[in-house]
Structure 1
C-alpha cells in the first residue's frame, strides 16, 4: 500500500509492506531497562541473524564500508583491524527496530558488514543496563564469541565513540563502550 503525502514544495511517499502488530522493544535504540525478553525471543533472533548472514553479500549493498571501518576502528578504539569476514547484515539492528515478536523492522540500511555487526549492535545498545547487557552477551554468544565477530564489535564501538558529540544516546553509551573496550 502506497501512502502519498504532499506539503509544498515536497512530496513524500511511504510504503507499507506488512503491518506488524507487536510493539517495539524500546522507544529508543538503547535499552534503559531490561526488556525481559524470553529465551524463545533470543533463539528466534539468533536464527534470523544466521539466515541473514548466509545471504551472499554480493548485491553491491554496503551497510558498512571497509575504508570507513579501517579508519575509525584504530582512531576511536585504539585497536587494529585484522582480516575481515564479510556477511550480510541489517545494518541498523537496535531495540527500536525490533519487536517483541520478534520482527525486524526498518530495512533500508541492509548490506555487507563485518561478521557479527548486528549482534554487536544489540549488545552495545544494551550497555546502559549492565544486567540486560550480561544476559544479551550470553544469549548472543554463539555469534559474539567467534573470533571473526571482533571486527563487527569494534566497528559498532567506534561508531558510538565517533558520534557521541552529535547523538545523545551515543553520548550516554560512550563511557560504557570505553569500559568495554578496555577489557577487550
Structure 2
C-alpha cells in the first residue's frame, strides 16, 4: 500500500479530513466497483431470504425484484486508502444487491454530512434507482439489526433511521 486508510474507524467522524481525496480518487472508486460488479461468483454476502424477511421488519418496505452484483461486502472508510485508492479487507467479497457497497459507504459517512452528500452525489445513479434502493435498504437493515451488539453501528443507528424516514 502506498496510502494509509482514510479513517481508523469504519464510521467517518468530523475529525477525519477528506479534502485531500482528489476527484481522481472518486473516479478510481467508481472504476474499481464497476469492475468488481462484473466478476462472477457463487458466494453471497446477503441471502435473499434475509432480505425478504428482515428488510420489511426493520424498514417497513417490502422489496421487489433484486438485482445482484458482486460487491466488496465491507465497504467503509477504514477499508479504503487515500489519497491513492486501494480497497482493503477482501474476505467478504460476494454477490449482494446492486448498490449495497455504496449504500454502506454512504451510511458510514452520515456523521459528516458534506462527505455523505458527496457519496450520495457520486453514486446517485445507483442509489436512486429501484434496484439500488434494495441494496440501500439492505445496508440500513444490517446496521439497525447489529446496532445492539456493535458499538459503531449503535452510533450510526439514529442517522440511519432518519435517512430511512426520508427514503
User: TM-score band, normalised by the shorter chain?
Assistant: over 0.9
Which residue is 1:87 aligned to? 69
Q: Which runs of 5+ in 1 are unaligned?
A: 1-19
Q: CA deviation at 1:145?
A: 2.4
Q: Which runs of 5+ in 2 are unaligned?
A: none
The worse-fitting range, judged by mean Cα deviation, of 88-97 and 61-70 is 61-70
> Could you tell me which of 141, 154, 157 is aligned with 2:124?
141
Runs of 4+ in 1 over 4 A off after TM superposition: none
Q: CA deviation at 1:112?
A: 0.8
Count of aligned residue pairs for this structure pair: 163
Structure ranking higher in helix proportion: 2
- Provide TM-score, normalisation by structure 1: 0.85
Q: Who wins on radius of gyration, i.e. which is larger?
A: 1
> Could you tell me which of 57, 77, 82 is aligned with 1:75?
57
- Provide TM-score, normalisation by structure 2: 0.93
Structure scoring higher RCO (CA < 8 A, sep ≥ 6) equals 2
In structure 1, C-alpha distance between the alignment counterparts of 2:109 and 2:147, rounded to whole Å:
16
Superposed CA deviations along residues 1-45 of structure 1, whole A, max 9, x for unmatched, are xxxxxxxxxxxxxxxxxxx12100110001002522221111110
Q: CA deviation at 1:149?
A: 0.3
> Could you tell me which of 104, 107, 132 is aligned with 1:121?
104
Structure ranking higher in strand proportion: 1
Q: CA deviation at 1:147?
A: 2.1
Which residue is 1:44 aligned to? 28
In structure 1, C-alpha distance between the alignment counterparts of 2:141 and 2:94, rounded to whole Å:
19
